[in-house]
């Protein structure tokens, strides 16, 4: 019996109830894997959710999909704070996902360069937004978010699957987790000010964006695709 835990470490309290019935455990987070091993579990493997590179790929998009800064996902507190700060930068910002209007101040929503798409978009549409963005911002879910099931407060240290979807599009992204093997080429920011500085630099240096995005792609495709997953298992 294999179990693949795709919400680690955010629901690790539940995961701990499940893995006792498994012969082998796959987890998407390296820190969660270490935690299980420290508890004495064996046959623990780090297996990130791979990318469907037939869907997520580089393509030409219509101008309506273009943005300078793009964020897609649920409005976790760290993402909301980042968008509040980004709203005062001289760039177009597109925010996509349910409930964003609920958490962003009216003065932000009224800014002409802020575009909020208050709905979930399917992958077939998200790929166009990724390809149309100069910078995709990819802040991860906080390990201490109030609705998590993570009483031990295990920190997430591994990239989410959105990271690989973006990389497969050869789109440039800024992530909020440190890059680590086997994904060492990704550009991280460690604070709001660092984000602002990196956003300004990469907006004004498209050649550097393209260089980084090409390295991200090389680390992701084909090694971390669904086509390659069976070979790893």
Convert the pLDDT of each residue in 182-217 to its tens digit.
899 999 999 999 999 999 999 999 999 999 999 999
For residue 186, what are its two tokens?
């990704």
Query: Of 73, 89, 68, 209, which Cα lies nearest the Cα of 132?
Result: 68
Indicate if 76 and 158 belong to the same structural domain.
Answer: yes
Residue 103, domain CATH: 3.40.50.2000
Task: Report the run of H or E that residue 197 belongs to, with start and end.
Answer: helix 192-204
Indicate if 83 and 190 belong to the same structural domain.
Answer: yes
At a CB cut-off of 8 Å and minimum separation 6, what does 134 contact? 67, 68, 69, 91, 172, 202, 203, 206, 209
Residue 229 lies in a domain: no
Residue 54 lies in a domain: no
Convert the pLDDT of each residue in 72-129 to its tens digit.
999 999 999 999 999 999 999 999 999 999 999 999 999 999 999 999 999 999 999 9
Indicate if 133 and 93 belong to the same structural domain.
Answer: yes
Residue 94 lies in a domain: yes
Number of domains within the chain: 2
Indicate if 75 and 129 belong to the same structural domain.
Answer: yes
Q: Say if strands 93-96 and 133-138 run parallel, antiparallel, or are unpaired.
A: unpaired
Convert the pLDDT of each residue in 34-68 to its tens digit.
999 999 999 999 999 999 999 999 999 999 999 99
> Can you give the residue range of the structural domain that contains 163?
63-220
Indicate if 31 and 67 belong to the same structural domain.
Answer: no
């Amino acid at each position: 019996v294999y179990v693949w835990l795709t919400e680690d470490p955010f629901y690790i309290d539940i995961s701990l109830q499940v893995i006792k019935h498994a012969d082998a455990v796959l987890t998407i987070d390296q820190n969660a894997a270490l935690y299980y091993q420290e508890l004495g579990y064996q046959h623990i493997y780090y297996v990130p959710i791979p990318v469907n590179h037939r869907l997520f790929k580089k393509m030409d998009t219509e101008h309506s999909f273009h943005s300078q800064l793009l964020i897609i996902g649920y409005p976790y507190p760290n993402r909301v704070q980042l968008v509040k700060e980004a709203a005062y930068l001289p760039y177009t910002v597109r925010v996509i996902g349910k409930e964003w209007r609920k958490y962003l101040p009216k003065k932000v929503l009224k800014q002409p360069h802020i575009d909020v798409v208050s709905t979930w978009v399917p992958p077939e549409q998200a790929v166009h937004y990724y390809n149309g963005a100069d910078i995709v911002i990819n802040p991860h879910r906080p390990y201490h978010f109030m609705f998590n099931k993570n009483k031990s407060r295990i920190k997430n240290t591994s990239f989410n699957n959105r990271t690989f979807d973006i990389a497969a599009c050869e789109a440039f992204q800024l992530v909020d987790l440190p890059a680590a093997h086997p994904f060492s080429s990704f550009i991280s920011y460690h604070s709001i000010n660092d984000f602002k500085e990196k956003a300004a630099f990469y907006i004004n240096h498209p050649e550097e964006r393209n260089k980084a995005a090409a390295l991200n792609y090389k680390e992701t495709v084909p090694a971390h695709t669904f086509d390659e997953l069976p070979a790893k298992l």
